[in-house]
C-alpha cells in the first residue's frame, strides 16, 4: 500500500483517527486464535495488515470498499478476532476492516428477532433478549467477546446447539445485509435460503453490515456438573439426557479424565480420575436430573442456578473450544480436532480410536442437533501434537471409521468443514468480489474471472 493509497482510504471515513497504522495495534488487530493450531501458527505468524480501518456506518464501508477496489487493495473483515483458524488474518497485507464500532443493537422484535449491526457482541444480544423474554438459540463459548458479524462469518454453533442446531440450521439466521466489493459497492439483502451464500464464508464474499437473528423463548436455566467413575458411564448418561426430548437443555458436555484436571479455577467440582458431564438444564428439571444422575452412579458436584453470563462459575467457560484453551494453558503440546461421531456407532468409534492412538486423543463431547433434527455426539477432542503427519494420520483414521472431521488446522473456507457442497459461497464470491480482494487466499477454489463476462459464472 502506498502513502497515496492510505491518504485516499483516510478520506473515506469521517474521522482520521479511525485509520490505524501504529504497528503494534495493526499487528494485534491482524491476529485471531490461530495459534491453537501448531500448523497454522507456523504458517501465519508473520502475516499482518498494513492499516486498520474502523468504519461506523454502511456508507463508510461502501466508500472504503470502493476505494480499495479501485486501488486493488485487499480487505479482511474483523469482528472480535476470536476465530480459531486464522480466518481473520490477512494473508496479503492491505486493510483490516474492523467492524467492532458498528455495534448498534437496533431492536428485539416482538416475535423474537434481533436486528443488529455486525459489531454487536453476542453477549449484548443475549442480555437484551433475555430482558424481553427471549434468548439466543445458539452461541459460541466466546459469547462475551465475539461479534454477531464474526459469528456468522466464521462460527458454527455452540451452547444451545443441542436443542436448536447450528447457526446455519432451522432458519436461525433470517437475513443478512452485505456490502459488495465492486467499483460501486452495492448493499444487498439476503433472506431465507440466500443467507447461506454468506454464512461461514469468512468474509470472502461480502461485508456483513446488518443481521436479523431469530431467537427462542427464554428459559430459566440451572447448571449441573456430574462426575462418573468411567467415560462409558458418563457417555451413556449424557447421551440419554441429550437425546430424550423430555429434557429441556442448553448444554450437554462430556469430558473424559484427565481433561477436567486442566480446569484450574473449578477443580473443586472435578473428581480425580473421573469423567465429568456439564449441563445447562431447565431449572424446573434440576432435581429430576440430580436424581437420575445418582441412580446412574454419578456424583453431583455442582447444582446451582444460572443467573446469566456473570454466573460464577460459568460452566460454559469450560466447554466447546474453551476446553482446548484450558488444556493448552496447562500443556502447550495439546491441540484439537473437530469431529462428529455416529449417533449409533460412537462407542465402537471411541474404542477404535483409543486402540489406535491411546491417550494421544482425549474425548471431549459436545452434543448437538443436526439440521435433520438428530442429536449427535459432536466432539472437540484434545490431541497431543507431535507432527503434522501424525495429525493427518489421525484425521484419515477418523474418516475411515465414519467419524467426520472439520479440520481446524486448515486456513481456507473449503477445508474447515462448513463449506457448502453446492458451492453457493463460491458463486456469491464470483458475483460480489470478482477481483478477489476480500480476505484473499481463504477461498481456494476461487479464480478471478474476466470481469467483462460475469454472467457466465453466475
Ligand atoms: C476459546 C474459544 C472458544 C470458541 N468457541 C466456539 C464455539 O463454541 N462455537 C463456535 O462456532 N466458535 C467458537 N470459537 C470461534 C469464535 O470465537 C466464534 O466463531 C466467534 O463467533 C467469532 O466471532 P468474532 O467476532 O471473534 O469473529 P472474527 O474472528 O473477528 O471473524 C471470524 C470470521 O468472520 C469474518 N468476519 C468478521 N466480521 C465480518 C463481517 N462483518 N462481514 C463479513 N465477514 C466478517 C472474518 O473475516 C473471519 O473470517 C471459539 C474460539 C475460541 C478462541
Distance CA 270, CA 206 (A): 45
Residue 207 Cβ inside 6 Å of ligand 1? The answer reads yes
Between the CA atoms of 4, 98, 435 and 205, what dihedral angle is there, to the nearest 10 degrees?
-170
User: Cell for 417?
Assistant: 468443514
Residue 81 Cβ inside 6 Å of ligand 1? The answer reads yes
407 Cα: distance to centroid of ligand 1 (angstroms): 16
Convert the pLDDT of each residue in 325-371 to its tens digit: 999 999 999 999 999 999 999 999 999 999 999 999 999 999 999 98
Minimum CA distance residue for ligand 1 atom 50: 321
Residue 417 Cβ inside 6 Å of ligand 1? The answer reads no
Q: Cell 439476503, residue?
A: 190
User: Cell for 186?
Assistant: 452495492
96 Cα: distance to centroid of ligand 1 (angstroms): 15
The mean pLDDT value of the chain amounts to 96
Between the CA atoms of 187, 192, 196 and 197, what dihedral angle is there, to the nearest 10 degrees?
-30
Give the residue ranges of DSSP H helices in 48-183.
Answer: 58-71, 122-131, 148-154, 161-164
Max distance between CA atoms of the chain, in angstroms, equals: 72
What is the pTM for the complete model shown?
0.96
SS3 311: coil
Whether the Cβ atoms of residue 92 and residue 186 lie closer than 8 Å to each other:
no
**Which domains are delineated in the chain?**
3-100 (3.30.43.10), 103-217 (3.30.465.10), 221-405 (3.40.462.40)
Of 28, 29, 84, 27, whose CA–CA distance to 54 is shortest? 29
Of 218, 239, 234, whose CA–CA distance to 282 is shortest? 218
Residue 79 Cβ inside 6 Å of ligand 1? The answer reads yes
Q: Which atom of ligand 1 is the closest one to the Cα of 203?
A: 44
Convert the pLDDT of each residue in 98-134 to its tens digit: 999 999 999 999 999 999 999 999 999 999 999 999 9
90 Cα: distance to centroid of ligand 1 (angstroms): 15
Residue 253 Cβ inside 6 Å of ligand 1? The answer reads no
Query: Residue 299: how many CA atoms within 13 Å on its side-chain side?
Result: 13
Burial of 387 from C-beta contacts in 10 A (0-12 / 13-18 / 19+): exposed
Distance CA 334, CA 57 (A): 41
pLDDT above 70 (res 451): no
pLDDT (average), residues 289-315: 97
Q: Which atom of ligand 1 is the closest one to the Cα of 153?
A: 34
Of 80, 161, 173, 71, whose CA–CA distance to 119 is shortest? 80
Convert the pLDDT of each residue in 174-199 to its tens digit: 999 999 999 999 999 999 999 999 99
Distance CA 7, CA 10 (A): 5
87 Cα: distance to centroid of ligand 1 (angstroms): 8
250 Cα: distance to centroid of ligand 1 (angstroms): 20
pLDDT at 423: 86
Residue 338 Cβ inside 6 Å of ligand 1? The answer reads no
Convert the pLDDT of each residue in 263-299 to its tens digit: 999 999 999 999 999 999 999 999 999 999 999 999 9
User: Cell for 101?
Assistant: 464500532
Convert the pLDDT of each residue in 42-71 to its tens digit: 999 999 999 999 999 999 999 999 999 999
Which string of DSSP letters, residue by residue, matches 362-422? E-EEEEEE-TTS-EEEEE--EEE---HHHHHHHHHHHHHTT-EE--TT--SGGGSS---TT
Convert the pLDDT of each residue in 326-339 to its tens digit: 999 999 999 999 99
H or E segment to which residue 159 belongs: none
Burial of 308 from C-beta contacts in 10 A (0-12 / 13-18 / 19+): exposed
User: Cell for 443?
Assistant: 477461498
Question: CB atoms < 10 A from the CB of 31, how many?
Answer: 18
Of 296, 309, 321, whose CA–CA distance to 82 is shortest? 321
Percent of the chain, pLDDT > 90? Answer: 95
* Residues in CB range of 291: below 8 A, 6 or more apart: none
Residue 83 Cβ inside 6 Å of ligand 1? The answer reads yes
pLDDT above 80 (res 455): no
Residue 378 Cβ inside 6 Å of ligand 1? The answer reads no
204 Cα: distance to centroid of ligand 1 (angstroms): 14
pLDDT at 450: 60
pLDDT at 166: 95
Whether the Cβ atoms of residue 346 and residue 263 lie closer than 8 Å to each other:
no
264 Cα: distance to centroid of ligand 1 (angstroms): 25
| Mutation probe of ligand 1 site: the residue of 142, 164, 322, 418 with most atoms within 8 A of C-beta | 142
pLDDT at 458: 32
Amino acid at each position: 500500500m502506498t502513502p497515496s493509497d492510505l491518504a485516499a482510504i483516510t478520506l473515506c471515513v469521517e474521522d482520521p483517527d479511525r485509520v490505524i497504522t501504529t504497528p503494534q495495534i495493526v499487528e494485534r488487530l491482524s491476529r485471531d486464535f490461530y495459534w491453537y493450531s501448531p500448523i497454522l501458527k507456523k504458517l501465519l505468524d508473520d502475516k499482518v495488515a498494513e492499516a486498520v480501518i474502523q468504519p461506523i456506518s454502511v456508507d463508510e464501508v461502501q466508500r472504503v470498499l470502493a476505494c480499495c477496489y479501485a486501488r486493488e487493495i485487499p480487505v479482511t473483515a474483523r469482528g472480535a478476532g476470536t476465530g480459531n483458524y486464522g480466518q481473520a488474518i490477512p494473508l496479503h497485507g492491505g486493510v483490516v476492516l474492523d467492524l467492532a464500532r458498528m455495534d448498534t443493537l437496533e431492536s428485539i422484535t416482538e416475535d423474537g428477532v434481533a436486528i443488529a449491526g455486525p459489531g454487536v457482541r453476542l453477549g449484548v444480544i443475549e442480555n437484551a433478549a433475555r430482558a424481553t423474554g427471549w434468548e439466543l438459540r445458539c452461541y459460541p463459548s466466546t459469547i462475551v467477546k465475539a461479534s454477531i458479524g464474526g459469528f456468522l462469518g466464521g462460527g458454527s454453533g455452540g451452547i444451545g446447539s443441542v436443542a436448536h442446531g447450528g447457526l446455519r440450521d432451522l432458519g436461525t439466521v433470517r437475513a443478512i445485509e452485505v456490502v459488495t466489493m465492486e467499483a460501486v459497492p452495492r448493499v444487498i439483502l439476503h433472506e431465507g435460503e440466500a443467507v447461506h451464500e454468506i454464512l461461514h464464508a469468512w468474509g470472502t464474499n461480502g461485508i456483513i453490515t446488518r443481521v436479523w437473528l431469530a431467537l427462542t423463548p427464554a428459559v430459566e436455566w440451572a447448571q449441573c456438573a456430574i462426575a462418573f467413575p468411567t467415560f462409558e458411564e458418563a457417555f451413556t448418561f449424557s447421551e440419554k439426557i441429550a437425546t430424550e426430548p423430555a429434557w429441556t437443555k442448553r448444554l450437554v458436555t462430556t469430558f473424559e479424565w484427565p481433561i477436567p484436571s486442566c480446569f484450574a479455577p473449578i477443580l473443586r467440582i472435578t473428581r480425580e480420575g473421573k469423567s465429568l458431564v456439564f449441563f445447562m438444564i431447565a431449572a424446573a428439571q434440576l432435581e429430576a436430573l440430580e436424581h437420575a444422575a445418582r441412580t446412574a452412579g454419578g456424583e453431583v458436584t455442582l447444582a446451582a442456578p444460572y443467573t446469566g453470563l456473570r454466573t460464577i462459575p460459568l460452566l460454559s467457560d469450560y466447554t466447546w473450544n474453551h476446553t482446548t484453551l484450558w488444556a493448552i494453558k496447562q500443556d502447550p503440546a495439546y491441540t484439537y480436532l473437530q469431529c462428529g461421531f455416529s449417533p449409533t456407532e460412537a462407542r465402537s468409534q471411541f474404542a477404535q480410536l483409543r486402540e489406535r492412538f491411546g491417550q494421544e486423543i482425549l474425548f471431549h463431547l459436545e452434543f448437538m442437533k443436526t439440521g435433520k433434527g438428530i442429536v449427535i455426539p459432536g466432539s472437540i477432542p484434545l490431541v497431543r501434537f507431535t507432527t503434522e503427519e501424525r495429525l493427518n494420520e489421525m484425521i484419515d483414521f477418523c474418516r475411515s471409521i465414519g467419524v467426520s472431521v472439520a479440520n481446524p488446522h486448515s486456513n481456507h473456507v473449503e477445508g474447515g468443514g462448513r463449506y457448502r457442497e453446492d458451492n453457493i459461497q463460491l458463486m456469491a464470491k464470483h458475483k460480489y468480489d470478482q477481483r478477489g480482494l476480500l480476505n484473499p487466499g481463504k477461498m481456494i477454489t476461487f479464480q478471478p474471472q474476466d470481469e467483462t463476462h460475469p454472467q457466465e459464472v453466475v
